[in-house]
A = this chain, B = another copy of it.
Amino acid sequence: MLLQLAVDSLSIDEGLTLLDQIHPFIDIIEVGTPMIIESGLEPVRIFHQRYPNCLIMADVKIMDAGSYEAEKCFAAGANIVSVLGVSNDITISGVVDVAQKYKGQVLVDLINVQDFEQRVIELDRLGVDYLCVHTAYDVQPTGISPLDELQRLNFLECRAKSAVAGGVKLDMLPDIIAEGAHIVVVGGGIINHADPVDVARTMHRIIKGIS
């Protein structure tokens, strides 16, 4: 299992300060949507240069112009680019085509997908690399956890690998590991923790099975 840190509520400098301390515990650095809205692809370029041990994920949540927008992200140094599961199949296929050109990967964000099972099967046929169940930030206060959807996703036995995001905290890791996912995305669970370095180290050890 890979640990992905979503860096979204920090400035670039704050992100660098944190990542300088914890990047050895992180497999994938996600440049989150709010960070891209604020700063564009500059943090993708910076993190890509500074943390060669980590993959970089550009969480652009593409909804249209799939090949055009994906091209920008992969060219800037992203290894993984996100596209929305609620977008058109043509858009998703455009992202997949560009990913192959750059030997990059495509993560479909299943946030707010309706007819979950049917759409997941359709998306899997488009040749994406990851299907990511994602409890929206705005929905998390209602108490919903992404674990239920992860179980529904894994039950479908897709070709694409599973990823899980949305309010993941340290105490949820054992259940996620038991259920199985290739990527677990953590944001506030590390960034807003009283001791981000310690919790990142602990998550890393749990995920990698280091006792």
Contact residues of A with B, CB < 8 Å? 8-9, 33-34, 36-42, 60-61, 63-66, 68-69, 72-73, 84, 86-88, 90-91, 94, 111-112, 114, 136-139
Contact = CB atoms under 8 A, between A and B. Distances in A.
A136 B87 CA distance: 9
A73 B137 CA distance: 18
Nearest to A9: B68
A37 B36 contact: yes
A9 to B, nearest CB: 8
A8 to B, nearest CB: 8
Copies of this protein in the assembly total 2
Given A34-B72, A114-B114, A136 B64 contact: yes
Contacts of A40: 36-40, 42
A37 B69 contact: yes
Contacts of A42: 40
A128 to B, nearest CB: 16
Shortest 5 CB-CB contacts between residues of A and residues of B: A40-B40, A86-B86, A39-B40, A90-B138, A64-B136
Given A72-B34, A72-B37, A88 B112 contact: yes
A138 B60 contact: no
A37 to B, nearest CB: 6
Nearest to A44: B37
Question: Which of A65, A66, A84, A91: most chain B Cβ within 10 A?
Answer: A65
26 contacts: A8-B65, A33-B64, A33-B65, A33-B69, A34-B68, A36-B36, A36-B37, A37-B69, A38-B40, A38-B72, A40-B40, A40-B42, A61-B61, A63-B112, A63-B136, A64-B111, A64-B137, A64-B138, A66-B138, A86-B112, A87-B136, A88-B112, A88-B136, A88-B138, A90-B138, A94-B138
A86 to B, nearest CB: 4
A38 B39 CA distance: 8
Given A34-B68, A37-B72, A39-B40, A63 B111 contact: yes
